[in-house]
Chain A
Amino acid sequence: MSAQYRLDKLQFSSLLPNRTNVRNSSDTITVSGTLANDTTQNYATTVPLSSSTNFIDVYAYNDSFKVKLVSSATISDIFDYKSDEFVQNSVVMSDTSVTVTITVNNNTGASVTLNSQVFTIEAVEYVLPL
């Protein structure tokens, strides 16, 4: 029979594989330029990861707000829209890096000059016994 114990209200347990924070790495993505109607533009950055990292949390932030990039929370939540441009992003992690790509699609019926803006992409790197 394996041992069991209780977790509620414990401050800390050495019996848990706590999130060992290797380091936080970051880079920026600058969004700017003019998009003709019915065109798409990608803006991307690749953040190197430590060789020991096997799990990360990825955040995006501007001067005012930060969002954790998960399945239903994206950079579109903090994007400074000029018009009705469509914004989405991807987050892909390999053994050595994480790449975040912001895709802006202009299907508004007219050319759009995007609001120039900078996003910092932050990877919080962990080592977990996965």
Chain B
Amino acid sequence: MSQADHISDIAFSTAFLTDKTCGLLSGSFPGADTTLLAPGDFMYQYIIPHSFTRPVQCDTWISTDGGESFDGLGAITYSDSSNLYVNVLDNTKDYVYKVVCTWIDDYDATNPLVPIMLSGGAGASFDTRFNYQKILVNDVISMTSSSGLTHVPYLGDGSLHNYNVYFESLPGQVWPIINGGAEDQWLNDPVHQWEVDLALSASEIELIASGGSSAADSFRVWYKIYHES
């Protein structure tokens, strides 16, 4: 029997890769502090500088009622080597945000120094008694807008695993999944920006790329598939 069996019963083991949460941001900003990206665009942008010197992957929840409830679809955050860009669709509201930043291994060869993130106000950073989301497989692939339907197989346990996918929608910028072409309200540079659509089955990720300035140019897509629980 493989020592890797019954992984879901293991709260924690250093044998399994976990997400590296390098930034936790929560705060607020008034819509008046945002900037419309371009005339005719839908996205208003709030910029938060970071010190990582390269992009990180961002998950975002946004509130417009003072933090009583959070909308999982109401904002999108991408990053470059200097900033996080929190994008919303209305500059008349006041926003409360939660952004979780995850490190991207091998984004480039720099391997920069980053601050140690001790959670002083919230107790221990880590406790082996707790369960941590364990990564089954993660990798990066290169795509072009002419890649068409791309199948990325993975060897799971036959169930529909949870996952996270993010990509370079523009050079030097890491975005969550965006898709929709001219009707995509989160697309602020339709001439140059790539989009990726995806669905995950029990054995593969199906990715479809579109957009981009040139079919010859390529961009990177990172994916992580998690062990169940």
Contact = CB atoms under 8 A, between A and B. Distances in A.
Interface of A: 2-24, 54-59, 61, 64-74, 77-78, 89-94, 98, 122, 124, 126-130
A15 B117 contact: yes
Given A68-B163, A71-B75, A12 B14 contact: yes
Interface residues of B, number: 67
Contact of A71 (B113, B114, B176): B176
A16 B117 contact: yes
Contact of A21 (B111, B180, B229): B229
21 contacts: A5-B116, A11-B15, A11-B17, A13-B20, A14-B126, A15-B117, A17-B126, A19-B133, A22-B131, A24-B229, A54-B98, A57-B59, A57-B162, A66-B160, A66-B161, A66-B201, A70-B72, A91-B71, A92-B70, A128-B24, A129-B122
B117 A17 contact: yes
Interface of B: 14-22, 24, 26, 59-61, 68-76, 98, 100, 103, 105-106, 111-119, 121-123, 125-127, 130-133, 160-165, 176-180, 184, 186, 197-201, 206, 229
Nearest to A100: B72
